[in-house]
């Protein structure tokens, strides 16, 4: 009987040893996995910082581009306005009949913009010299412009 107890004792010890060996292996694997996860987290944090820096850099570039674009748009509008002013002076120096003949060939918007830059006297003389249908469509366009521009 002592031998049986002894064998059972040895069997239990070997099971215990196997379990502790298994536990040590699992613990080593877990520690290794934890280290891998920490390295991956550090790598991801580094990537996030790089991405955030690039986003900031590109946002600044975009802001500069938008600012330049706005500045260019303002300059273009200034050139257009200056061009319209020059055209208004040019058409004002013509006889109303000649100016009307030439303005009739332009689209309503351009004609209206030019007439708006003229003195009221010149614009009215030119409108009076225009073909009635063209004068009506330009006048209609002028009233649409007035609706868009707030009055005082």
What residue segments make up the domains of the chain, in order of their start? Answer: 39-148
Sign, Cα dihedral of 101, 103, 107, 109: negative
Which residue, among 141, 145, 139, has the nearest Cα to 127 in the 3D structure? 139
Q: Give the model confidence (pLDDT) of 102-137 as tens digits.
A: 999 999 999 999 999 999 999 999 999 999 999 999
Please check the confidence at residue 24 and state whether its pLDDT lies above 50. Answer: yes
pTM reported for the whole predicted model: 0.53
How far apart CA 146 and CA 38 sit, in angstroms, is: 67
CA 8 from centroid of its chain's CA atoms: 79
How far apart CA 126 and CA 96 sit, in angstroms, is: 5
Residue 78 confidence class, pLDDT cut points 50, 70, 90: confident
Please check the confidence at residue 15 and state whether its pLDDT lies above 60. Answer: no
**Do 100 and 129 touch, CB atoms closer than 8 A?**
yes
Which CATH number fits the domain 39-148, given the four candidates 1.10.220, 1.10.3280, 1.10.3470, 2.60.40?
1.10.220
Looking at per-residue pLDDT, the higher value among 12 and 139 belongs to 139
Model pLDDT, residue 28: 87
């Amino acid at each position: 009987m002592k031998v049986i107890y002894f064998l059972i004792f040895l069997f239990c010890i070997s099971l215990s040893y196997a379990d502790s060996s298994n536990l040590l292996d699992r613990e080593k694997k877990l520690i290794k996995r934890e280290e891998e996860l920490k390295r991956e987290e550090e790598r991801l944090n580094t990537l996030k910082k790089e991405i955030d820096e690039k986003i900031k850099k590109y946002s600044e570039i975009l802001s500069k581009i938008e600012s330049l674009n706005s500045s260019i748009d303002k300059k273009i509008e200034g050139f257009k306005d200056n061009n319209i002013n020059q055209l208004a002076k040019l058409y004002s120096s013509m006889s109303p009949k000649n100016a009307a003949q030439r303005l009739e060939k332009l689209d309503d918007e351009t004609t209206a913009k030019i007439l708006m830059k003229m003195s009221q006297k010149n614009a009215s003389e030119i409108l009076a010299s225009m073909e009635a249908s063209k004068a009506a469509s330009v006048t209609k366009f002028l009233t649409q412009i007035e609706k868009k521009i707030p009055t005082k």
